[in-house]
Structure 1
Amino acid sequence: MANTTKKKQGKKADRSVFFAARASTPKAAGLTDGDQDGDGGNDTVPLQYSPGPQNLPVTQDFLQNCLEDMSTKILTSLQSTLKELRRDVQELEDRMTHVEQKMEDQTAAHNDVADQVQHMQQQLEYTQRKVMDLEDRSRRQNLRLRGIPEEVKQPDLHAFLIGYFKELAPDLPAEVLLLDRYHRVQKPTFLPQDTPRDVLTHLHYFLVKEALLQATRGGRDLPQKYKHIKLFTDLSAATLQKRKEFKDVTEALRQNNVQYRWGYPIRLLIRRNGTVTTANTPEEGRRLLRTWNIPVNPVGKNMAAPAMLSPEWKRTKK
């Protein structure tokens, strides 16, 4: 019985030691500075220890205060960040407004320039046509003959030309076949070396020139020495260049057996189904061909005025 009592007392003592309250200071716990360092040396730093409240209850008010304090700090930080963002956004908005205004001004200026360029192109084309017409009028009684051999020298040209014209248009009276001037002209560089130079002659009467040109379309059988001669209207270089712009139109007309002839200053007179239609520009000729369901392949580049621009946004009022 006594032994049993001693065992119970020993167990109680062990429990009391295990559940004993911890000392509030290191010294009370039996620890020295050296023990705290763990190296047992003398060069130790004294520990700063402040005892906290014992058994502090974690209440709802305490948590609420912590949450409110944290919310206040977060809100303050967010407000500061948002203020900086608003300032940056306002700066960007001001810059974008300035850029949009500049773009709008540049668009208006570009459209003014494009309008002026288009007007100047029309004026330039009109002036060029007038100059070409004046130059062609000074050549309107000229004829260009190609294929006359170089053996026919200058003193013999008059007799050769009169003989050719009489064979070409025998109905013309001899008294109207008057040649004011006749001479050879410089040969283009792209022609072969053995190609004879063209002969340019100025007839006294315009109607005689037209009659000779009309006679070349009759298919008259000429003597051998005249068969290889070709007759052309004498035109300025600018007029010939303008006529080249109609090349795709004239080729399409020839392929479809549609008759045409050239008018002045630069226009195409097309005869189809008994009706004569005028094309003043290559684009007008292409539109006519498309209307008649005639295929055409445009060639060359069309020099158009700059296109008008329009802003890609609309300014809104705030």
Structure 2
Amino acid sequence: MELKTTQELSEERISEIEDQLSEIKQESKIREKRVKRNEQSLQEIWDYVKRPNLHLIGVPECDEENESKLENTLQDIIQENFPTLARQANTQIQEIQRTPQRYSARRATPRHMIVRFNKVEMKEKILRVAREKGRVTHKGKPIRLTADLSAETLQARREWGPIYNILKEKNFQPRISYPAKLSFRSEGKIKSFANKQVLRDFVTTRPALQELLKEALYIERNNQYQPLQKHTKC
């Protein structure tokens, strides 16, 4: 029986270790994909749960507020800003409340109001007429109405901001639809994009649009590499 040399045994051992490392890396990638998929599913579920909710920002707080008072406040806002909608629609509120107090009770800004409707269509109708009106008020003072979304989705919507502003300035009629898709009119058709990579792929086939958006897309790509560059310099 032929005995293996020390070098051969070492090479076999190294090969076994390399195979094990390869398996560990593959398993790690699978776990990362699973975690990311689960996080995305959780975000989608949370956004779906919040979908009938309307978020009101800047509405002053009153002493000893209860649900009845808050509902009256909402009705006053609808009547003040959307009288036609107030006459035509039954708001069908399921629940209305203030957001929890996260900071000092003496903070100057009022807590946000969250309204949950029985049907998502009512929330969407209010948001649509609010966009058309442009300025929404409560007793003459400006307030804001938005969809109630998860923190991750809100961040995704904010990241569209620079591109949205460029497209709006150039009259592409951009819109950020639920939950965080950017859509705009291009060559007579409405195009929608779930993320910026899809948009990058699209603009490569539209030189004029690529030139228009290259700075915003390049800035974002630069930001992705910025932490690595800083670490390298240290």
| Global fold match (TM > 0.5) | yes
Displacement of 1:202: 1.1
TM-score (norm 1): 0.54
Structure 1 residues 197 and 116, CA gap change in structure 2 (3 angstroms): same
Is 2:61 aligned against 1:150? yes
2:139 partner SS: helix
2:198 partner SS: helix
Please list, as runs of the form range in 1=range in 2, the aligned pairs for 1:12-51 lying within 5 A after superposition: none
State the partner residue of 2:146: 232
State the partner residue of 1:260: 175
- 2:120 alignment partner, one of 206, 215, 220: 206
Q: Higher strand fraction: Structure 1 or Structure 2? A: 2
Is 2:168 aligned against 1:168? no
Tell me if the contact between 1:169 and 1:211 (Cα under 8 Å) persists in the aligned partners: no
1:271 partner SS: strand
Cα distance in structure 1, aligned partners of 2:199 and 2:17: 37
State the partner residue of 2:45: 134
1:76-128 CA distance string (max 9 Å, x none): xxxxxxxxxxxxxxxxxx66655554444444333333333333333222222
State the partner residue of 1:112: 23
Displacement of 1:208: 1.1
The alignment's C-alpha RMSD in Å is: 3.3
State the partner residue of 1:186: 100
Tell me if the contact between 2:47 and 2:149 (Cα under 8 Å) persists in the aligned partners: yes
Cα distance in structure 1, aligned partners of 2:135 and 2:195: 37
Displacement of 1:272: 3.1
Gaps in structure 1 of 5+ consecutive residues: 1-93, 302-318
Tell me if the contact between 1:177 and 1:203 (Cα under 8 Å) persists in the aligned partners: yes
Is 2:126 aligned against 1:216? no
Cα distance in structure 2, aligned partners of 1:116 and 1:268: 32
1:197 partner SS: coil
Displacement of 1:229: 0.9
1:193 partner SS: coil
Structure index of larger Rg: 1
Is 2:220 aligned against 1:272? no
Q: Which amino acid aligns with 1:236?
A: S
Structure 1 residues 181 and 174, CA gap change in structure 2 (3 angstroms): farther
TM-score (norm 2): 0.70
Displacement of 1:210: 0.3
1:10-37 CA distance string (max 9 Å, x none): xxxxxxxxxxxxxxxxxxxxxxxxxxxx
Displacement of 1:271: 1.5
1:113 partner SS: helix
1:180 partner SS: strand
Displacement of 1:168: 3.1
Q: Which amino acid aligns with 2:56?
A: L
Q: Which amino acid aligns with 2:124?
A: E
Identity %: 19
Give the number of equivalent residue pairs. Answer: 204
Tell me if the contact between 2:137 and 2:143 (Cα under 8 Å) persists in the aligned partners: no
Q: Which amino acid aligns with 1:137?
A: Y
Cα distance in structure 1, aligned partners of 2:89 and 2:164: 39
1:148 partner SS: coil
Q: Higher helix fraction: Structure 1 or Structure 2? A: 2
Q: Which amino acid aligns with 1:262?
A: S
Structure 1 residues 146 and 224, CA gap change in structure 2 (3 angstroms): closer
Gaps in structure 2 of 5+ consecutive residues: 226-234
Cα distance in structure 2, aligned partners of 1:255 and 1:196: 32
1:170-205 CA distance string (max 9 Å, x none): 332455122221111124549x92011101111222
